[in-house]
Chains A and B, each alone.
Chain A
Amino acid sequence: MSEQQQTSDDLASDEETIIAIGKQKISFQHVVLLLAASLSVIIVVLVFIFTVLEGYRIIPEYGFIDFLFGHEWDSPHEQYGILPMIVGTILVVLIAAVIAIPVGTMAAMYLSEIAPEIVRKIMKPIIEILASIPSIIYGFIGWRTLVLFLQNQLGFKSGRTAFTAGVVLSIMILPTIITIADDSLKAVPRAYREGSFALGATNWQTIRKVVLPASSSGLTAAYILGFGRAIGETMAVYFLAGGGKNLQWNIFRGVDTLTSLILKQLPEASIGSVEYHAIFGAACVLFLITFCVNLIGDLLIRRFSKKFRGASK
């Protein structure tokens, strides 16, 4: 009260005084809400610090080059090269992308450009449900169908291969790709389509030559965020990729990915050992990759929405 009086006195006495009328007193409730909001930020930072603190030690203990480019992970012989797992991750994710990108793009084109409103309203939620199926179920069903098919019908010694994991993974990342691609196609202003139709273009010409190029950065973002999901996926890959800790590029043989390596080796490594640090080192590499991928995806989405805000003014 006295404070307020003082301000009005100040105002009366000195017309030059600037009063911060927008400044609010911080209350107890504000602090509680702030803490709740900060919780996830704090956890992210702590996880990051913890992973890096445990992981960086592999560099002095084992050597950066040997760790990153070593051709073999062999715990009994104390070999901790993660290149086979990096290659395994790339193989699995590439297979998933080769399948999911064309299928996802076509599905999004259908939903956004061709499907009648009613079909769209039914299909889109179902596609989104795909994303909410727990990955262990994908892993299990992939094992029951694809793995056994490869073994029993095609005569593979083991049906758990990079290919198997990639195929199942492609289905898992489809909803991400379809949803974001559909949103970005829908965001293309109607004025472009009308301009194209007014020139006598067919629906297909309009989609292919105007709508798709106009949404290219949004589509790329969809692919990259799909990538991000695929790289981080663990359970299904653990189930289906078999395993192989030696460097090899054959997609029809078992591989380990960074995630499946961590899942398999962490329970066996004693805390503080070189292997333990190597596993955290692998986690750091994984962290770095997914962080970059998501960052690029976000930047592309931002650029995309900015492009159309600029265009529609």
Chain B
Amino acid sequence: MNIVNKKLLAKETKEEDIVPVDMRALFKDETEIIPEKLVKKYEIRMAVKKLSHWYGNNHVLSGISLPIFKNKVTAIIGPSGCGKSTFLRDLNRMNDLIKISRVRGKVYLDGINIYSEGIDLIQLRKKIGMVFQKPNPFPMSIRDNITYGPIIHGINKAYLPGLIKSYLVKAALWDEVHDRLSESAFSLSGGQQQRLCIARALSIEPEVILFDEPCSALDPHATAKIEDLITKLKAEYTVVIVTHNMQQAARVSDFTAFFNLGELIEFNSTRDLFRSPIRKITEEYISGRFG
């Protein structure tokens, strides 16, 4: 399904007029921060161009440009309050729920700007799933948590039993819960709840998954399981993960973007960024001298 909804377009605009842009070209003038060789080498799934964000008069993001590569894990790191969560929530327009939000700039998904007119938020969020900081299963049974998404999108109910299993298997939770699907999701441990939320996010067949500090409320053992899962997911999905844990970024991600005070300071492959950061402030942050 296309994220552009004809019904939401102004009368004079036609669906055919909305032509995907070449996302590689967007980064031609950004080579100072975005390494040219990466843009040339990897396929881009999403592209953020000069994105600024305000909450009321509070300027939280200024002029962020960043490519998100297909079937890779991109980590966003930075000190608290640097705008990394806001950035993530701009990628599937979750910030639309916060009334005082204002954005300027563009976010492209497959070349289509998701902030242009005619964008169907339902289809957009169906393509870009999200997992939150605190596990937030619905107050329903484990089964109903998984089937919620497919049902609201009108799936044929005959497929549901098979789907429940396949998503729980993907989220590495099936073995632990297969005999108690009717129990409340709250009967699970924190780590299990978070994996249930991942299974729930998978249930709408997204193409991109956003993780907003998914392990910050979990113990090391549960964290290891989620990280393991994220590395597996990139085979099928494009992943963006916000984390305040640099070791986690180093472990799970292919690319890392370092944010500070609402600006993108540095972006590179994770290996290069951690081994040889270009900016002094990046080095200070990843070596733990501030943040």
A residues bordering B, Cβ < 8 Å?
A: 117, 189, 191-202, 205, 209-210, 213-214, 307, 310-312
Contact = CB atoms under 8 A, between A and B. Distances in A.
Given A198-B94, A198-B130, A189 B148 contact: no
Contacts of A192: 136, 138-139
Given A198-B92, A198-B201, A210 B138 contact: yes
B72 interface: no
A200 B136 contact: no
Main secondary structure of the interface of A (DSSP, over half): helix
B153 A200 contact: yes
Contact of B149 (A189, A191, A199, A307): A199
Interface residues of B, number: 29
B134 A194 contact: no
B234 interface: no
Nearest to A210: B138
Interface stretch (B23-31, B102-110, B120-128, B221-229): B120-128
B132 A191 contact: yes
B126 A200 contact: yes
A200 B197 contact: no
A197 B153 contact: no
Interface in B168-210: 186, 197, 200-201, 203-204
21 contacts: A189-B136, A191-B134, A192-B136, A192-B138, A194-B136, A195-B136, A195-B138, A197-B94, A198-B130, A199-B129, A199-B149, A199-B200, A199-B201, A200-B122, A200-B149, A201-B149, A202-B152, A205-B152, A210-B148, A307-B139, A311-B139
B216 to A, nearest CB: 14
B204 A196 contact: no
Contacts of A201: 122, 148-149, 152
Contacts of A202: 122, 152
B94 to A, nearest CB: 6
Contacts, number: 71
B170 to A, nearest CB: 16
Contacts of A191: 132, 134, 136
Interface of B: 92, 94, 97, 99, 121-126, 129-130, 132, 134, 136-140, 148-149, 152-153, 186, 197, 200-201, 203-204
A199 B140 contact: no
A205 B140 CA distance: 15
Nearest to A206: B152
A213 B140 contact: yes
Contacts of B203: 199
Contact of B197 (A195, A205, A307): A195
Given A200-B126, A210-B138, A195 B132 contact: yes
Contacts of B139: 192, 213-214, 307, 311
Given A194-B136, A200-B121, A201-B148, 8 more contacts: A191-B134, A193-B97, A198-B129, A198-B132, A198-B201, A199-B126, A199-B148, A199-B200
A205 to B, nearest CB: 5
Contact of B138 (A200, A214, A310): A214
Contact of A198 (B99, B125, B153): B125
Contacts of A307: 139
A101 to B, nearest CB: 22
Given A199-B200, A200-B204, A194 B152 contact: no
A198 B134 CA distance: 14
A194 B132 contact: yes
Given A191-B132, A310-B186, A196 B148 contact: yes
